[in-house]
Amino acid sequence: MAKRLNAMIIFAEHRYYGKSLPFGNDSFTHENIQYLTVENALADFARVIDDMRIKRNDGPVIAFGGSYGGLLSMYIRMQ
């Protein structure tokens, strides 16, 4: 459907998961784990959206997901 609508689908990786370790091997220390919050995840996703809007300068953004991703998409709509 995205191709038909000339849309872009972006799946941003959540910090601290996969390859997104903000402090490398030290990401899970007591000092650094404090940045693994819902608020920071929302800020990360908002930054991705802003960057994409600057680069593409077009259209609406639709946030969606299931389970935790669905919760984040609801929170980003509320913000």
| pLDDT tens, position by position, 46-65 | 998 888 888 876 778 888 88
| Domain parsing of the chain, residue ranges | 28-78
What whole-number distance in Å separates Cα of residue 58 and Cα of residue 19? 29
10 phi and psi, to 5 degrees?
-125, 125
**Residue 37 DSSP label:** S
pLDDT at 41: 92
| pLDDT tens, position by position, 4-54 | 988 888 888 889 998 999 999 999 999 999 999 999 999 999 998 888 888
